[in-house]
Structure 1
Amino acid sequence: MLPTDLLMHRQNGEEIIPKRLKIDRGTSDLAIELINYFQSAVGKTQGVLERQLTDFEGDSTDYRVKRGLAYILKSSFCTFEVVSPLEPQMLRERVFSLAAKSVSSRESTQITLSKIADELTQELEREVLLEQVRNGLYADLSENKILTVFDAPTAPDLLNRYNLSQVQGVFYKASQLVLNAHRNVPGEYKLLFRYLKLFQLMAYIEGDADHGFTITIDGPTSLFNPSTRYGLAIAKLIPALLHVTKWSLSSILQTRDAYTNAWKTGRFTLNSECGLVSHYPPGKPYDSMLEASFADKWDALKSGWALEREVDLIPIPGSVMIPDFRLVHSDGRTFLLEIVGYWRPEYLQKKFSQVRRAGRDDLILAISERLNLEKAGVKLNDVPARIVWFKDKLLPKAVLAVMD
């Protein structure tokens, strides 16, 4: 994502309109030129690259666009590393300690560096050159780090990432976001809700998988102390949302007037027809090796029950529960299977609270024997679900037994 100083938004009344580049020949040529700069800088210092980029910006009026594209390339596609045969911090400590014993001069500096090189040659039992000491002193500064890897994107990929980053920047100052995820494939909902949890967003969820969900997310400026970090978390959710087929959102923003410094209200809307492209990977077929192993074993079992991965979601007031599998028999019977193998007490408390609030009679809980439920304060005597215990692997026959 882009830092605040590289965001380019305009306001039409209360409507916030972020800058978006057309993907045409002109912008593609610009992107290719920048990508070539980075490609040719592999093996060189970040300082050399920065100077080249400054010359490339020149005094053109679109310098912020160029700088924004370069920022994305640096932050998302580059690996800068400290390249030095000697540890820089150790070198500085030794050089500064020895230099403090003499009057500073060009000659004394040369003598100090030479002495350190000789000492390290003896200690390391290999030749350490004076130039290695000189070059290693500040090798860990940003400008001296070496561009070791550049995973070059295509021009459209870079431009799409830029447009997405401009839109994400809108949410840095959001006070509220209301997201309507219309009827979609259940697996898409599941991916979205997992990202909500991953980014620790405070969300209130209403609805169901048949009609869709309304998700209300409190923004960073609705908190007692507005948090840029929380705004970034909301912004990170947007690429995940792009994997959902049909959705719309509206947000209220709090921004400062550039001239009066007074707070003013803005509004921003977005929907699934926005044309933005996500760089997040689509959801994995399985969340863990345990789930994948169970599915493989089930497929080899001729039981009359089909195992489905894209399952229904169970609505709970203010939240939603997403079972791992659904089991469907040819005679119409169905069960939902949730595997509980995660150990954190907070997770276990929330999980079993969801099970109680769901009040389903078709839910099976597969619980790892390695979990310390007592320590987490979880009691199973009032859990309205069928229980299967497992150790390292969840066996299909154990699940079949509780269904029958």
Structure 2
Amino acid sequence: KRLGLMYELVDEPTGDPDLGDRVAVVTGPDALFSRTRRYGTAFARLLRTLAATGRGELTATVDDRGTERTLSLSDADPVAVPGTDPVVDVGYDSDVEREFATRFEALDLDWRLVREPDLLPVAGGAMVPDFAFEYEHADFRVYFEIVGFWTPSYVESKLAKLEAVDAELLVAVDRSLGVGEAVEAADHRVVRYDDRVRLKDVRDALRVHEERLAAESAADLPDELRPTEDAVAVETLAERHDVPESAVEDREFPEHRLVGRTLARPALLERLDEAIEPGQDLASVASVAAEHGIDAADSLLSALGYRVEWSGLSGGTVRRRE
């Protein structure tokens, strides 16, 4: 997938113990359909990687303007690597992947999306999943593979790898392929899609793990939390204990009161109540609240028994709740 090329690892004796018995076969996606010379630049960049390794051999079939030739290179050849790195656009294999990644990363979840994270060993080769979801509060990841429309032989090869891989894997399958049942038979969780992968389906699949992981990460969290600050955000407290925010919210706060997404001491709330007067504009209240570590003025006013009388788009005025 790197450089827009396709890679397949196959078991093949090399006769050299230093090289091992695994060979990478590299092609361009369109080469599955017809002969093409469009991947020359990508292969040239790949040669830099090979030349920079300490040990390796390459054999390639080259279309020299209609004449088929064989190119052979090894670490014994005098190939020098320039000191500057080539421009590499990792990109995505499809618009479905790109669009999914953009939408998922816009969510505020406890999962980090990693592009092409690992090589997963399978019988006779390896598999590089499209993504991995890494849980922020534990050493746990769910691999994510998107199987879209491709040639029958490609789909067959993909299914064989999915059957062989031994990892926590979520698979999104283009419904038109009709292979969802085969993937489920390989003991992998499946979400089906038409034009785009639904975030809700992926979110539901991750939530199965999230509930268990959240409970495990919060196992050592005390039943009562007593922050030293007069006001502290739930998010800050969760980061401090390396747990999800939901775990913090489930605890008791003997010395604080939850105001919006902030824990505040009653004494601080009393001081703020004395500083707020009916008829004051909302902007000035928000400024005072922010100075004391509370970023939600509306939640503060509600907790103190106030309401906001709105005046169109110009702002609001603080009133006592009757």
Query: Fold conserved (TM > 0.5)?
Result: no
* Larger relative contact order, structure 1 or 2 (CA cutoff 8 Å, min sep 6): 1
Of Structure 1 and Structure 2, which has the larger fraction of its residues in helix? 1
Which TM bucket (shorter chain)?
0.3 to 0.5
TM-score, scaled relative to structure 1: 0.37
